[in-house]
Structure 1
Amino acid sequence: MAYVVMESCIRCKYTDCVDVCPVDCFYEGPNMLVIHPDECIDCGLCEPECPVKAIAHEDEMPQDQLDFIQINEEMSERWPNIYEMKDAPPDADEWKEVKAKRHLLEK
């Protein structure tokens, strides 16, 4: 079992979650973060830190977000590890409330 980063992270990429992760299981893509499912220890510290509520336990994800389980798994094998908090993109706040962003995911 693991936590999963979902669609809400796209174009926001806040890294508050990275700062609290005890095992550094986050990976950074061009416009979102993902969690490596084999590295996540299921502690749940990241979930309440996300300002856009983009993180959920895989057993509690909305039906329309289930494909992000696979996206997290695949992209965490390709993207570099991120283990320190950094500034969000300059336009992150503009994307915070946008729901349909899946088509903007850059792999």
Structure 2
Amino acid sequence: MTDWRPIVHEMRLFKSPEEIAVMRRAGEISALAHIRAMEKCRPGMFEYQLEGEIHHEFNRHGARYPSYNTIVGSGENGCILHYTENESEMRDGDLVLIDAGCEYKVTRATSRVLSR
């Protein structure tokens, strides 16, 4: 029996121009979603509403799903590792941690901290 892991590892090291293009597009879509979040974020909004704005932007650009559970943590919630409840109301002056990436033929993760 042959150990397939070195073969797969080697295949993953090098990307074709097509794979690179897909990865770039996933990054662009994720960036657009983060920009939308920055534009829409405001006091009184709930974290899950901002999560919805992010997912909407993913969908608008052909990325049907997030690559993992989206994290939108405002205030103290932004300090909780892997916070996923996304249920608190954002207050004026809160820092907002967003960890969100889209699935677009590959996955891409991007994190930002916003201050409003």
TM-score (norm 2): 0.23
More contact order relative to length (CA 8 Å, sep ≥ 6): 1
The structure whose residues are more often strand, as a share, is: 2
The structure whose residues are more often helix, as a share, is: 2
User: Which one has a bigger Cα radius of gyration?
Assistant: 2
